[in-house]
Structure 1
């Protein structure tokens, strides 16, 4: 793959991710957009093998999220995402595990904030 083709592929994927994120609830959209933006910046100068893996994983993410965001799927289930395969953790670096934990903390903090807000509204 030439450099121009690679750049075009990365840009298309980047734009696709942000388009798919539009269907997410507002708080998840902001978190997803920020995370994707940071990850793409972080991998801007990675080696070709890492770039291949990076693009494959983000492509899978975009496809899975797009499937979950279809109106018919949303009517069936009100949840977004899926659990990570525990075996994948064995292949992650310490930095990646810390990053995953930080993302988990941010997501669960927002969920608990929403629950608190919902309970407060119900009491009024």
Structure 2
């Protein structure tokens, strides 16, 4: 598990290899999420937050390093079923914004 600041920096560095529109959207989203979660005191929430962003970082690093370029990854139904109402709303907002690009 990476500490928050090094994880944040590596994610932003990984975004350098994304297409410009995806980089811009990804940078803003990561910035907002890390700010939003900066004051969390619950250790379980902190570990969950950092763990999921590390999974994201691993995916970005793997996919941007491939010959095919960045492809993205399908959200599996098990993960989808575990999302809270707020997370579903954020996912819907993200989908709406990305379709406008």
Q: TM-score, normalised by structure 2?
A: 0.91
> Which of 6, 29, 34 does residue 40 from structure 1 map onto?
34
1:50 is aligned to 45
Larger RCO (alpha carbons 8 Å, 6+ apart): 2
Determine the C-alpha separation between the residues in 2 that align with 1:14 and 1:89.
24
Determine the C-alpha separation between the residues in 2 that align with 1:79 and 1:43.
27
> Could you say if the C-alpha distance between residues 55 and 48 of structure 1 is closer, same or farther in structure 2, counting changes exceeding 3 Å?
same
Determine the C-alpha separation between the residues in 1 that align with 2:70 and 2:17.
13
* Greater radius of gyration (CA): 1
> Could you say if the C-alpha distance between residues 24 and 79 of structure 1 is closer, same or farther in structure 2, counting changes exceeding 3 Å?
closer
| Structure with more helix by fraction | 1
Q: Is the 8 A contact 2:63 2:71 kept in 1?
A: yes
Displacement after TM superposition at 1:89 (Å): 2.1
Q: Is the 8 A contact 2:64 2:70 kept in 1?
A: no
- 4+ residue runs of structure 1 moved beyond 6 angstroms? none
1:102 is aligned to 93
